[in-house]
Structure 1
Amino acid sequence: MSVLEITPLSPAIGAVVDGVQLSEPLSGANRDALTEALLRHQVLFFRNQPVTPTQQRDFARQFGDLHIHPIYPNVPETPQILVLDTHADNLPDNDNWHTDVTFITTPPLGAVLAAKTLPPTGGDTLWASGTAAFDALSPRLQALLEGLTATHDFAKSFPASRHAISQESRAQWEATRAKHPQLSHPVIRTHPVTGRKALFVNEGFTLRINELPPRESEALLAFLYAHVARPEFTVRWRWQVNDVAFWDNRVTQHYAVADYLPERRVMHRATILGDTPF
């Protein structure tokens, strides 16, 4: 059995993992060790992992059932692997701070992202710790936020103006819109395993705080978006081809830096289903 070497990247978030091949089934001990490391560090990075879509799917499945994205394209023979292929003719839409798929009632537990094609420079991804951001708030603001809920909307990150252009894409978009109406999640989420509190609003999908007037909601969300992105709560990863990142989507946000255009960047993602936030 291999022995995992886990090297933290910052006090708040991020660690590099060595001593495991993600293309092979995990031993029970290694699965437990990765789960523990994920809970502690929130995002794990693995170098030199040339996984196929099937191997990436099978690795992610060891941590839960997988989501099939309703809008992004996927690998035809492995629909659980979505394809993020961005370039001058398909501009990025994930260059904002967001938590994946918070427009469903059970947002993902986590995600596994593999780098397939990279630009000569640029294309980094940043992750932010919602727990570190919450812990740094004053007790009075923490108490206020814990009683609030926020509306999340699929269409904020996937507007019809971009994703419903052709007749076929319009039908797909409208079907997704009907299946995923606006819904509410708590502004502060409790991690179901660790019990730690985390900010759970994000620029990508959050529309408003339900219990506040519009101007107060807008001002408070603007503060929280800026707060979670403070450098001391974040880690920045400079990708190499065949790198893999595995993150806890319940308590993190991430931002894909779109500084590489017109060069091309291709990433594969598997998304692990989660539970209802509380």
Structure 2
Amino acid sequence: MSQFDIRKIGGRIGAEVVGADVRDLSDRIFGEIHEALLEHKVLGFRGQDLTDDDQLAFAAKWGELTGAHPTVPGIDGKREILPVDGEASRANQWHTDVTFVQTPPKISTLRGLVVPPYGGNTLIANTAAAYRDLPDELRAFADGLWAVHTNDYDYVKPAAAGVDPAKQAEHRKAFVSQTWKTAHPVVRVHPESGERNLFIGGFAQRIVGLSGTESRAILDILQAYVTRPENVLRWVWSPGDLIVFDNRITQHYAPDDYGDLPRRLHRVTVAGDVPAGTDGRESYRVEGDNAAHYTPTATPS
């Protein structure tokens, strides 16, 4: 018998893990949590009240950790922890973490530290369900497409209420201090479950072989399936919450709907592999180095 419950939140995505302390998980219970993540794509743990070291230890159960980000520094003394601070930037658009490198992280963990009394939720979408929603003709078309992902675009929107313009400018300067462009299959095959999903999101800026205008039109059509309400989970934060999502088969979005109120999370990510498409071909670098300083699974130069 399991010592905890896994309770579905939505029909297509998301479950809450009840009765488990992530600081004290047996191999058997962690195995069940692992299987639950593959099924539900995102898991939420209420009221864990973890320290930074606790979060790092839990994330490390999933595999080797990445740095905080390829260009944005981590918190002092903890290079693997990225501060997600609404005062410095608000990246309120759909994306999958760090897809502009050849080996994006496979797992992302987010921990709530400072949470506004309203707004500031995190939305997470099931990109496998989106792929299954496509009409047969559009699905066959998408199977053969490749997209170039890059960090060099307007990822962070103009300063809003509560955002410090100087901190935002500093964040933007760091974010694009080095440029990467990587071609990934638009339809990725999940390396564990074998599910196909739409591996696109905000960093996907161009379809290989097409113009910018043509690319935008196709990406917008496919993205509309990802963000259908039935494919999306909304996590309403409380301080001390932890969520874990499979970065290989989800997108996420943080709505900028909390005015000048503070919001701060800590993110830790787990190193992933090179994505592969439906024909087995793997992602390849177009511009930039192999990001070996960021991820231990970087492919050789």
TM-score, with length taken from structure 2 = 0.83
Instruction: Tell me whether 1:41 sits opposite 2:45 in the alignment.
Output: no
Q: 1:76: which partner in 2?
A: 76
1:238 aligned residue (222, 236, 239) = 236
**1:217 and 1:158, CA in 2 relative to 1: closer, same or farther beyond 3 A?**
closer
The Cα of 1:184 is off from its aligned counterpart by 0.2
Alignment partner of 1:156 is 2:158 = no
Give the corresponding residue for 1:9. Answer: 9
Distance 1:169 1:39 in 2: 33
Residue 114 of structure 2: aligned partner: 117
Q: Secondary structure at the match of 1:84?
A: strand
Q: What fraction of aligned residue pairs are identical, expressed as a percent?
A: 39
TM-score (norm 1): 0.90
Q: Does the 8 Å CA contact 2:7/2:17 hold for their aligned counterparts?
A: yes
Could you tell me how far 1:157 is from its partner in structure 2? 5.3
Equivalent position of 1:146 in the other structure: 143
CA contact (8 A) 2:151 2:176 kept: no
- Summarize the Cα distance change of 1:213–1:73 in structure 2 as closer, same or farther, 3 Å threshold: closer
Spell out, residue by residue over 1:58-109, the C-alpha distance to the aligned partner (whole angstroms, 9 max, x if none): 100010111111333422122111111113xx341x2111000001111111
Offset of residue 213 of structure 1 = 3.7
**Which runs of structure 2 are paired with 1:62-141 in the superposition (5 Å)?**
62-68=61-67, 69-87=69-87, 90-92=88-90, 94-141=91-138
- 2:178 maps to 176
C-alpha distance in structure 2 between counterparts of 1:157 and 1:106, whole Å: 22
**CA drift at 1:48:** 0.6
Which residue number corresponds to residue 281 of structure 2?
none
Which is helix-richer, 1 or 2? 1
CA contact (8 A) 1:134 1:142 kept: yes
Q: CA deviation at 1:152?
A: 0.3
Unpaired segments of 5 or more residues in structure 1? none
SS of equivalent to 2:29:
helix
1:54 aligns with 2:53: yes
Task: Map Cα deviations across residues 225-267 of structure 1 (whole Å, 9 max, x no partner).
Answer: 2221010111111111101000000000001111112000010
RMSD of the alignment, in Å? 2.1
Listed one character per residue, the Cα deviations across residues 9-57 of structure 1 (whole Å, up to 9, x for unaligned) are: 1121000001211233x21101111110000000000001111111100
* Residue correspondences, number: 267
Structure 2 gaps, min length 5: 159-164, 277-301
Deviations along 1:187-239, one digit per CA (max 9) or x if unpaired, are 00000011110000112x11111133433222111111222101011111111
Pair 1:174–1:193, CA change in 2 (3 A): closer
